Amino acid sequence: MNLIGRVIMAFMPITPKALVRFFSRRYVAGTELHHAIKVMEDMADEKTSFTVDVLGEDITSIEETRRFVTEYQDLIKAISTSNIDAHISLKPTAFGLDIDYDYALSTVSDLAKLASSFDIFVRLDMEDSNHTESTLRMTEDLHKMGHRNTGVVLQGRLFRTMGDLERLSVSLGPDADVRICKGIYLEHPDIAYTGYHDIVRATSAAVSKALDLGMYVGVASHDHPVINSAIKSLDERDFEFPGQDPREPAPTKRKGKGNGYEFQFLLGVRGDVRRRLASEGHLTRVYLPYGEQWYEYSMRRLRENPGVAWHVAKSVLFPWTNRR
Taking only the tens place, the pLDDT of each residue in 312-324 is 555 555 555 555 5
The answer on 241 and 310 residing in a single domain is: no
pLDDT per residue as tens digits for the range 89-147: 999 999 999 999 999 999 999 999 999 999 999 999 999 999 999 999 999 999 999 99
211 vs 29, more confident:
211
The answer on 20 and 67 residing in a single domain is: no
The answer on 103 and 12 residing in a single domain is: no
Residues 260-266 have a mean pLDDT of: 97
Q: Residue 186: which domain range?
A: 32-290
The answer on 254 and 311 residing in a single domain is: no
159: three-class secondary structure by DSSP: coil
In angstroms, the CA 190 to CA 60 distance is: 29
- In this structure, is residue 78 part of a structural domain? yes
The answer on 86 and 8 residing in a single domain is: no
Q: Give the DSSP letter string of 236-261.
A: HTT--SS-----SSPPPP-TT--SSE
**Average pLDDT in the chain:** 89
Q: What is the pLDDT of residue 322?
A: 52
114: three-class secondary structure by DSSP: helix
Q: What is the pLDDT of residue 184?
A: 84
Binned at pLDDT 50, 70 and 90, residue 279 comes out as: very high
The answer on 225 and 107 residing in a single domain is: yes
- In this structure, is residue 93 part of a structural domain? yes
Residues 220-231 have a mean pLDDT of: 96
The answer on 225 and 136 residing in a single domain is: yes
- In this structure, is residue 296 part of a structural domain? yes
Q: What CATH number should be reported for the domain holding residue 169?
A: 3.20.20.220
The answer on 193 and 177 residing in a single domain is: yes
Binned at pLDDT 50, 70 and 90, residue 9 comes out as: low
Active site amino acids: 125, 179
State yes or no: pLDDT of 200 exceeds 60. yes
The answer on 268 and 313 residing in a single domain is: no
State yes or no: pLDDT of 231 exceeds 90. yes
- In this structure, is residue 304 part of a structural domain? yes
State yes or no: pLDDT of 179 exceeds 70. yes
Give the count of domains, the chain. 2
- In this structure, is residue 324 part of a structural domain? no
Q: Who's near 214: CB < 8 A, 6+ residues apart?
A: 169, 174, 176, 247, 249, 250, 251
Binned at pLDDT 50, 70 and 90, residue 269 comes out as: confident
Number of other CB atoms surrounding residue 319 within 10 Å: 11
The answer on 303 and 210 residing in a single domain is: no
Q: What is the pLDDT of residue 186?
A: 85
pLDDT per residue as tens digits for the range 43-90: 988 989 999 999 987 789 999 999 999 999 999 999 999 989 999 999
Residues 203-222 have a mean pLDDT of: 98
The answer on 238 and 130 residing in a single domain is: yes
The answer on 308 and 227 residing in a single domain is: no
Residue 155: phi and psi, rounded to 5, are -100, 120
